[in-house]
Amino acid sequence: MHFDPAEPHPGDTLTVIVRSTNGTSPGDSPALVLEAEGAAGTTTEPVTMRAGGGDTLYYFAVPNVALGDLCLLALVDGTTPEIAGKVTVTERPAGPPVANGIYKVITNHQWTCSEQPTYGNEIHVSVQDEKGKGVAGAVVDVDYADSTDPGSIYNDEGNIPDTVQMDGSGNFVGYNYWPISDHGFMVFKLSVQGEPSDIATELTTGWWETNDENGNYCGEYGKNVWGHWSHTVVFQRNLAATEICEVDTDHAGQQSCAIPGHLHHHPQHQACWAAQ
């Protein structure tokens, strides 16, 4: 099992990744559910995404975790124990003061096939003040999901930056090839550095080309190979906001192929917590 976040806090959604080791594809792999037992009781969580490209990956999301130990058990067909794990949920450390508001994610757009460039991925980021004016020089942190093994990253073009800085208009445009990593899809999280900020999540360069129904997302050579996507993220300061949230993509690109999968968030529950 691999976890994101590796050290969860109350209100977080815990992503749990189970990877098969017998070479089965999604169509041949058994059904799994995840049983989560903690201070708030026991829940059974379904798979939010199952994908291949090698060994099958099962994604689960445990929402709104509570303080204390959280015991996890993956069950084949809902009955037969397969693999177990445990994480401890600890108090959330204090963040930056909220005197000047919170930067909220107002756009987390996964590009459609008509928008997606041929080969590679673009990332467009904007940071705006409360009136929608760009914040010149603002810095946005670029973090990996905690389940990522940085030493396993390959197929990228140069180093992936830890931060990106906005230009004089409050915008940044970047490009990379198709970085891939072990232990799940290559997923990034963006937030405004040094400020109370939402977290834009599910930014991935690693959706496989087909889903469980063998739907091809774009169907055009050189575009969206292995299901990789470009994204646009916009942060805007909100002076009245009191919560910090994780914001997933709009899944716009995946709409071309059956029902979207979900990575590093819960499909029905948004992770939010009071800003400190």
pLDDT in tens, 206-224: 655 445 555 556 767 666 6
Q: Phi and psi for 226 in degrees, rounded to 5?
A: 60, 20
Check whether the bond before 196 is cis (ω within 30° of 0): no
- pLDDT tens digits, one per residue of 10-58: 999 999 999 887 766 667 788 899 999 999 899 999 999 887 656 788 9
Q: Is 226 helix (H, G, I), strand (E, B) or coil?
A: helix
Residue 145 has pLDDT above 80, yes or no: yes
The span from the CA of 191 to the CA of 173, in Å, is 16
pLDDT at residue number 208:
52
| List of domains in the chain | 2-89 (2.60.40.1930), 102-274 (no CATH)
Split at pLDDT 50, 70, 90, the class of 153 is confident
For 98-120, what is the mean pLDDT? 90
Strand segments (E) across the chain: 2-4, 14-19, 32-38, 41-45, 49-51, 57-62, 68-76, 80-89, 102-110, 121-128, 139-144, 163-165, 171-176, 187-192, 199-204, 231-238, 243-247, 272-274
| Predicted pLDDT of residue 177 | 76
Q: What is the pLDDT of residue 68?
A: 98
Q: Are 203 and 176 in contact (CB under 8 A)?
A: no
